[in-house]
């Protein structure tokens, strides 16, 4: 092995399968081995690497050579090891040479020009076409590296590429510059690619299975009978990276060519059903057309995917709408290439005996290789799947929800950074950002009924409340922040000390939001809209209990015109949130949830990079009812509380009522609760349903435990038990005068359990109301405006409503005190939390 530390790598084609995998491999090697990694492709990176050693520049190797040299000079003058992974795919094999020969020749000449003194090794990746696999049956099989060249009739551009490599090496040696090469010849590459690529065989299979499953069709093997029954092999892109680096750093194997396959073989007849099982799809074999003759000349593909796929885009769009994902992924399918790959009437196998003789031990299981690619295709690196159940009847909504893992979070952050710094978003004007926000609001408004149904399925919330309150609030809030996008102004100060002072406000960077499950669409508006209006990028993680509604918004963000990476939606549980909270490249995180988890978010944010944090945490909100309050107005505290079955953070779950009206008030409140109980049990998907079940079994058990404790600590007025045998329905419950230390009085229950206490004086009411670790919201019921303002000023909460249940408003700040968190969402305060003030002094 070479003892030269600190190599500089140059990798081309990094948006392609093997180039991407090679960079992924290199960044996992120590800096002492690879101190700098220069990467290039024609198009910007959709998924940049978060590694300080990586330097990217755009390069089209079909440019004029002088332009290529000029583009490479700032980055490549110290390159020691160059990996060429570029390839132009066309449907017409006769045209491959037209593009790929100058692609390689331009690269090598420019590389020698720019890195004339540093270059040590060059790695050329070719492929199975070197052996004529694309032209017809050849012998021997499997292919060996020393097979004599066949009569290619001018179609094998790999021969031309290799001959040019040999000639340039000899010319360099004649000039006294000795560099060496390795050639890697994979056979049928199978791996993830971050962009559309002509050789994405596994992604094509994934699309085929997903669509067949959605249509209820059997996924027939699209190739012919011969290939269905013959032995096949393939090459993992990770394996290509491993062999390429292994060969390039060993001196004793310089100037050698190596085949690369995974190391195993398979027969599609048995392999196809295994892949189908992964997708829970039905698999079928091919149909044989005509009688086979020697050479299989009458064998034809059962399904020509290039024809089959022509009318399937809308089916794929429907899949994305239903489960989330990327509409553009349909374009990653290389249907024509796959038709050829599995429609040949001859075997295409490669031998790795030469690499083995030189000591290479790499091996990849081909089934695992395909499955790993499929997992990347559905945009999750984690194997864990989450099952969602409908709390109305405990039926399974889906068992296919992925939890985002650390790699998924890294990928999301990388995409957000790219969108912020390299994509078009950084150049969007405020007017353009506003237009995107307005477009999204319009789309969400049109899709309100569908979105409400999707959100209701897993949460049990009545669709009417979601459609006509949550989504209306979301749309209005997004439009409100769209109005701010072009009105973010700075400040200047009079020159009174010889300095002209300017304050300007800038986006703070990549932001993230973690939301509770009880109001997904509202949280989307509170967190994402102000961040985007300010020019940031955003990663939103919904609760593991309610991921479907947020994921359904993904296509709308794309249709609204937001560039890729600006908004990204993740699903997952605590580990996903922890990865966001602790990520060193996220500048701010906004969290809505319990106080206990909020503390963990704060700690992780502090330990990682001191990111900004907004915490909207739990509440045990009081409502004070004075004797002069109109009774009909005062008892609205009850109907407001029961919205969403008490699962609202600002809900007034502690009601303080003056002794002089307590009996009448409690009787009327009881009537409201019992009327609600009578309507309880209806299907949340019906528009006239106004009360649903609690969110899930865990929430049900938690609430019922509080109720049992309440029966020991207070007088039960109504409710206190389950309604019906189906679903997680809890009768609205009222407890009267619990002890001041009772858990039902002091802790957030987050369910349909209301506590009432009687007070005698205004001072006593204020003291009882403030005797809580929480301080999110409060309500005051009185006709005396002076009293209302006086009491509101003394209540220790972030917001106070008079004569109405407290609800968030798009243009006023929402946020708590004490253990209810800090920082504000909504209003101008919410916008400013996503901006950074910069001071400029001019002498």
- What pLDDT score does 280 carry? 78
pLDDT-derived band of residue 203, with 50, 70 and 90 as boundaries? Answer: confident
pLDDT at 172 over 90: yes
Number of neighbours of residue 155 by Cβ within 10 angstroms: 15
Residues of each domain in the chain carrying CATH 3.40.309.10: 622-810
Q: Which residues contact 438 (CB under 8 A, 6 or more apart)?
A: 478, 479, 482
CA triplet 148, 152, 156: central angle to 5 degrees?
100
> pLDDT digits over 425-466, tens only?
888 889 989 989 999 999 999 989 989 998 999 999 999 999
Tokens of 571: 């699903």
List residues bridging with 283 in a β-sheet.
219
Which of 76-85, 306-315, 372-381 is the most confident on average? 76-85
Q: Which DSSP string corresponds to 511-523? A: EEEE--SS-HHHH
Find tokens 């409400």 and name the residue: 452
For the full predicted model, state whether its pTM sits above 0.75. no
Cα–Cα distance between 657 and 661 in angstroms, integer? 7
- What pLDDT score does 197 carry? 56
Least confident stretch, 7-11, 190-194, 215-219, 417-421: 190-194
C-alpha atoms less than 13 angstroms from C-alpha of 414 in its C-beta half-sphere: 17
Mean pLDDT of 674-691: 94
CATH of 7-377, one of 3.40.640.10, 3.30.70.1150, 3.40.50.720, 3.40.50.2300: 3.40.50.720
Mean pLDDT of 144-164: 86
> pLDDT digits over 222-255, tens only?
888 888 998 999 999 889 999 999 999 999 999 9
pLDDT at 376 over 60: no
pLDDT at 202 over 80: yes
Least confident stretch, 50-54, 374-378, 441-445, 582-586: 374-378
> pLDDT digits over 726-747, tens only?
999 999 999 999 999 999 999 9
User: What mean pLDDT value characterizes the chain?
Assistant: 89
- What pLDDT score does 195 carry? 60
- What pLDDT score does 285 carry? 83
Cα–Cα distance between 750 and 700 in angstroms, integer? 10
Residues of each domain in the chain carrying CATH 3.40.50.720: 7-377
Which of 490, 502, 505 has its CA nearest to residue 843? 502
pLDDT-derived band of residue 331, with 50, 70 and 90 as boundaries? Answer: confident
Q: Do 378 and 403 meet the contact criterion of CB atoms below 8 Å apart?
A: no
Q: Do 37 and 11 meet the contact criterion of CB atoms below 8 Å apart?
A: yes
Cα–Cα distance between 49 and 417 in angstroms, integer? 10
Fold of 622-810: Aldehyde Dehydrogenase; Chain A, domain 2 (3.40.309)
Catalytic residues: 616
pLDDT at 760 over 60: yes
Residues of each domain in the chain carrying CATH 3.40.605.10: 386-617+830-838
Write the CATH number of the domain with boundaries 386-617+830-838: 3.40.605.10
Distances (CA, A) of 643 to 403, 619, 637: 30, 16, 10
Q: Which residues contact 55 (CB under 8 A, 6 or more apart)?
A: 36, 37, 38, 39, 75
489 or 414: which leads in pLDDT: 489
């Amino acid at each position: 092995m070479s003892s030269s530390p600190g190599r500089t790598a140059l990798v081309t084609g990094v948006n392609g399968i093997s180039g991407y995998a090679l960079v992924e491999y290199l960044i996992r090697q120590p800096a002492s081995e690879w101190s700098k990694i220069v990467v290039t492709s024609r198009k910007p990176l959709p998924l940049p690497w978060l590694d300080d050693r990586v330097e990217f520049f755009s390069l089209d190797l079909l440019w004029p050579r002088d332009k290529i040299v000029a583009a490479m000079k700032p980055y490549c003058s110290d390159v020691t090891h160059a990996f060429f992974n570029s390839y132009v795919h066309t449907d017409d094999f006769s045209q491959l040479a037209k593009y790929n020969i100058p692609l390689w020749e331009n690269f090598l000449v420019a590389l020698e020009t720019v890195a004339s003194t540093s270059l040590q090794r060059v790695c050329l990746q070719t492929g199975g076409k070197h052996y004529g696999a694309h032209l017809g049956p050849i012998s021997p099989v499997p292919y060996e590296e020393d097979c004599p060249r066949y009569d290619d009739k001018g179609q094998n551009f790999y021969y031309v590429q290799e001959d040019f490599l040999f000639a340039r090496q000899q010319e360099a040696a004649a000039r006294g510059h000795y560099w060496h090469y390795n050639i890697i010849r994979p056979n049928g590459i199978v791996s993830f690619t971050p962009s559309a690529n002509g050789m994405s065989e596994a992604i094509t299979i994934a699309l085929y299975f997903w669509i067949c499953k959605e249509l209820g069709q059997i996924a027939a093997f699209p190739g012919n009978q011969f290939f269905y029954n013959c032995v096949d092999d393939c090459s993992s892109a990770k394996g290509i990276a491993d062999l390429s680096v292994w060969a390039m750093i060993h001196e004793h194997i310089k100037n050698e060519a190596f085949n690369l396959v995974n190391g195993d073989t398979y027969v599609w007849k048995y392999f196809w059903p295994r892949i189908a099982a992964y997708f829970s799809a039905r698999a079928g074999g091919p149909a044989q057309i005509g009688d086979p003759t020697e050479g299989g000349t009458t064998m034809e593909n059962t399904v020509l995917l290039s024809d089959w796929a022509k009318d399937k885009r809308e089916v794929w769009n429907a899949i994305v709408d239903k489960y989330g994902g990327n509409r553009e992924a349909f374009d990653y399918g290389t249907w024509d290439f796959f038709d050829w790959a599995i429609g040949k009437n001859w075997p295409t196998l490669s031998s790795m005996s030469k690499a083995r003789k030189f000591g290479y031990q790499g091996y990849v299981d081909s089934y695992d290789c395909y499955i790993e690619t499929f997992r990347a295709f559905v945009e999750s690196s984690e194997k864990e799947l989450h099952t969602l159940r409908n709390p109305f009847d405990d039926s399974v909504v889906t068992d296919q929800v992925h939890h985002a893992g650390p790699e998924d979070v890294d990928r999301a952050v990388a995409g957000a950074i790219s969108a912020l710094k390299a994509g078009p978003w950084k150049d969007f004007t405020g007017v353009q950002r506003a237009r995107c926000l307005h477009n999204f609001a319009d789309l969400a408004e049109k899709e309100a009924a569908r979105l409400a149904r999707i959100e209701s399925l897993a949460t049990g919330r009545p669709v009417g409340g979601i459609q006509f309150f949550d989504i209306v609030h979301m749309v209005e809030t997004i439009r409100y922040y769209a109005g701010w996008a072009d009105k973010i102004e700075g400040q200047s100060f009079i020159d009174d000390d010889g300095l002209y002072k300017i304050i300007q406000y800038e986006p703070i960077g990549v932001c993230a939001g973690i939301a509770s499950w009880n109001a997904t669409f509202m949280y989307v508006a509170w967190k994402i809209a102000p961040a985007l209006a300010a020019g940031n990028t955003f990663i939103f993680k919904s609760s593991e209990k309610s991921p479907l509604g947020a994921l359904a918004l993904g296509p709308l963000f794309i249709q609204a015109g937001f560039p890729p990476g600006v908004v990204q939606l993740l699903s997952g549980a605590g580990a996903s949130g922890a990865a966001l909270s602790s990520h060193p490249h996220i500048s701010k995180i906004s969290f809505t949830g319990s106080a206990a988890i909020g503390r963990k978010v704060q700690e992780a944010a502090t330990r990682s990079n001191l990111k900004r944090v907004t915490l909207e945490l739990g509440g045990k909100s009081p409502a004070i009812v004075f004797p002069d309050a109109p009774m009909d107005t005062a008892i609205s505290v009850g109907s407001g509380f029961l919205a969403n079955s008490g699962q609202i953070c600002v809900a007034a779950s502690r009601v303080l009522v003056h002794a002089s009206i307590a009996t009448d008030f409690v009787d009327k409140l009881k009537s409201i609760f019992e009327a609600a109980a009578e309507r309880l049990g209806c299907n949340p998907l019906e528009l006239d349903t106004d009360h649903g079940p609690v969110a899930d079994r865990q929430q049900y058990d938690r609430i019922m435990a509080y109720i049992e404790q309440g029966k020991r600590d207070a007088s039960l007025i109504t409710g206190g038990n389950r309604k019906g045998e189906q679903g997680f329905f809890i009768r609205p419950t009222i407890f009267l005068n619990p002890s001041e230390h009772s858990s039902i009085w002091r802790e957030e229950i987050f369910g349909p359990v209301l506590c009432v206490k009687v007070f005698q004086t205004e001072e006593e009411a204020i003291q009882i109301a403030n005797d809580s670790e929480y301080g999110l919201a409060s309500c005051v019921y009185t006709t005396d405006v002076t009293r209302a303002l006086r009491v509101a000023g003394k209540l220790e909460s972030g917001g106070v409503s008079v004569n109405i249940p407290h609800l968030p408003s798009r243009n006023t700040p929402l946020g708590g005190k004490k253990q209810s968190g800090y920082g504000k969402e909504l209003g101008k305060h919410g916008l400013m939390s996503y901006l950074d003030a910069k001071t400029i002094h001019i002498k």
